[in-house]
Chains A and B, each alone.
Chain A
């Protein structure tokens, strides 16, 4: 919260220049259903830390959490500075007609356009934490078992209803042959022979999502898994192969336990494939060669990048979470959340005395004065405007 001093130039040497972090005012946080507690409360923590008042709109899809938050939060937070608003898309639309000083939205890209359009009417700044199809490139030069462990781990934990989860794999047909048994072995090791009975596997959030995902099982060819149970909203950890770029499973963010593999020949083709598509929230590259990993990093763009792992950077508060392009704008976690919800106000405190020193900046101007001004503004950037 402390003021950050700014450097001064010769014209402002006697002044005190600093940046003060202040609250925006009234913040609206619209939260999603996939990690309904975390993705609602972490932004809230930052907004409150920055001194704002908050209106919270939890997702109506994660009904249990919605109810608990609405009951519990007012018992702990100052009710004049904080409110929970419940409702579906219609209520959210009405909420967005009001003026806020900041809007923080986590959710799908399709809804975010209308959030930003609504914000534009009041010139309200926004952070949009969206998603997209996060590619995971697996080079020929790496250990398939390590890849399988790291890719299958956390994503499967939440049924891959995770915005940063690897959405699809890119690898050569030869690597695919080595990966499939490794993936199968990992799934069996983590969840047993009958994953449906494993206590470590969640379920799909609702029927609508379940139906959507089940339809995707028809793409390509099922190499692992493929089972589903409507009563239980269960879909088995599934790997699809022989997938075409034009099929539905490669057109939308999957957000479920289905992992398609698309074949490419080498890192160049993988990079071309990735760059033809929207910038993702996360990009993963597995290779023993640091050159390959660096190429991937330098020639693509994404919100975040991970070399040789499947998820872990989410646990680091020093590394922000945020997208670029269609995967989002803005970023948060740790201090980045505080900064997101703070207005950084530029301040200059000037002395009233020593007015004579200011004379060079007043008209009437002369050549001599101009020379002095040129020298005083010097090599440090200064904008008179």
Chain B
């Protein structure tokens, strides 16, 4: 492991990855890889998550191509030095900020969107002139294998390498020294990554998760709200870091919400969800069992059907959920949607603030008096992504 990292470091020290032309060439090669080998890539993602080619394309490949194009268009400008304002003492000087590569970057990918969550950071790392070690998630085996096969065929083989393996290999890798580590995954492992990075004073980017709340105000168009939530929640079988994890709303709304989600699920996935080509499966048996255990003792208002052989869990909604139960203690990362009744928006805000800051936060309301309250919410609730539905003006 140490030898591999050293090899990549030597390649970086040669200076090859720094010139703009080289970076653009590598990005163009990556683009060619995605286009020429699209079928192989889609097949790999498809086998990992039981995802149709169409969905694998729109959920992953399209973002990667978009990101590469965006980088190719803007990189020539981004690499240039940016002059800054000077004062009297420095009037005769040239003062500017010059972006420079950090060195050897480690990217640890995730399994839920195994292609884009590994390649999108790679694109940025290459664009910034670094050498990169890519460690795809071992849970999405087929994608990990295809990446190890394809990347060396298109990219510089000494500057960008793929290292595959499980917990043991990743632990060994984290003992090595990097100049930046980007990790996508769960909070518990995030802490391990940061602790390992601390030994070398390596800066980290941690894309984690959490329980993303979704507040539904009594004054909203429930039809539209439920369509949007159904879409966000059950995409990729709920295995999305920014999926609405649970709903907060007044108790009286629960039945309507359940009904409308039920109707939307039928519209999206048909009478027999199991047969829909647009509905994925849980990544592996361990997560399947984990999600199943969250249903224990809960009031299943809709869904709840499972099939262990195919790792299928039906789109499920739970009502009158007790915040102290297991389903409200961990990130669900599955197609189970608990509804926790609250009295009003203030109680919702308190509920959210008592918990860890989420990655995403969703609010649905039609009430234009409410923007004032939403200002309060926005001041009180701190999270990465905040989506709010307001009336069209």
Contact = CB atoms under 8 A, between A and B. Distances in A.
Interface of A: 14, 20, 22-25, 109, 112-113, 116-117, 119-121, 123, 128, 130, 275, 297-299, 301, 305, 309, 312-313, 315-316, 318-320, 324-326, 328-330, 343, 345-355, 358, 361-365, 367, 370, 373-374, 377-385
A315 B90 contact: yes
Given A299-B15, A373-B58, A380 B70 contact: yes
A345 B384 contact: yes
Interface stretch (B23-31, B156-164, B199-207): B199-207
Contacts, number: 190
Contact of A123 (B66, B84, B208, B269): B208
Contacts of B89: 312, 315
B227 A380 contact: no
Nearest to A297: B98
A346 B390 contact: no
B278 A363 contact: yes
10 contacts: A24-B382, A113-B198, A121-B191, A123-B191, A316-B87, A318-B95, A346-B385, A352-B366, A377-B62, A384-B59
Interface string B197-237: 11101010010100000000000110011011001000000
Given A364-B276, A385-B113, A20 B390 contact: no
Contacts of A362: 227, 231, 267-268
- The 7 A-B pairs with the shortest beta carbon distances in the complex, nearest first, are A120-B194, A318-B84, A116-B198, A363-B278, A351-B392, A353-B392, A381-B70
A267 to B, nearest CB: 15
For B15, B117, B383, the residue with the greatest tally of chain A CB atoms inside 10 Å of its CB is B383
A324 B383 CA distance: 28
B389 A373 contact: no
A355 B227 contact: yes
Interface residues on B, range: 35 or more
B344 interface: no
Contacts of A364: 268-270, 276-278
A324 B228 CA distance: 43
Contacts of A347: 378, 385-388
A113 B199 CA distance: 6
A135 B267 CA distance: 67
Interface in B68-126: 69-70, 73, 84-87, 89-90, 93, 95, 97-98, 100, 102-103, 113, 116-117, 120
B80 to A, nearest CB: 13
B390 A120 contact: no
A195 B262 CA distance: 85
B88 to A, nearest CB: 10
Nearest to B224: A355
B13 A275 contact: yes
Nearest to B365: A352
A365 B54 contact: yes
A365 B206 contact: no
B391 interface: yes
Contacts of B206: 123
For A109, A128, A320, A349, the residue with the greatest tally of chain B CB atoms inside 10 Å of its CB is A349
B57 interface: yes
Given A364-B268, A381-B69, A385-B116, A313 B95 contact: yes
Contacts of B224: 352, 355
Chain B binding surface SS class:
mixed
Contact of A365 (B58, B63, B203): B58
B276 A316 contact: no
Interface of B: 13, 15, 18, 52, 54-55, 57-59, 62-63, 66-67, 69-70, 73, 84-87, 89-90, 93, 95, 97-98, 100, 102-103, 113, 116-117, 120, 179, 187, 190-191, 194-195, 197-199, 201, 203, 206, 208, 220-221, 224-225, 227-228, 231, 240-242, 267-270, 276-279, 364, 366, 378-379, 382-392
A120 B195 contact: yes
Contacts of B364: 352
Given A362-B227, A370-B58, A381-B67, A319 B191 contact: no
Contacts of A119: 194, 198
A269 B67 CA distance: 40
A325 B201 CA distance: 7
A117 B198 CA distance: 5
B66 A379 contact: yes
A12 to B, nearest CB: 11
B179 A345 contact: no
Nearest to B62: A377
A328 to B, nearest CB: 8
B191 A316 contact: no
Contacts of B388: 347-350
Nearest to A384: B59
Contacts of B191: 120-121, 123
A25 B15 contact: no
A124 to B, nearest CB: 9
Nearest to B85: A318
A381 B18 CA distance: 24
For B206, B228, B269, the residue with the greatest tally of chain A CB atoms inside 10 Å of its CB is B228
Contact of B190 (A25, A123, A298): A123
Nearest to A361: B231
A119 B386 CA distance: 26
Contacts of B18: 298
Nearest to A20: B378
Given A22-B378, A365-B277, 10 more contacts: A20-B378, A120-B194, A120-B198, A343-B382, A351-B390, A358-B227, A362-B268, A374-B62, A378-B66, A384-B62
Contacts of A112: 201
A365 B52 CA distance: 10
A312 B87 CA distance: 11
B66 A380 contact: yes
A350 B278 contact: no
A309 B89 CA distance: 12
B95 A383 contact: no
Contact of A367 (B54, B67, B93): B54
A275 B103 CA distance: 12
A312 B90 contact: yes
A324 B86 CA distance: 23
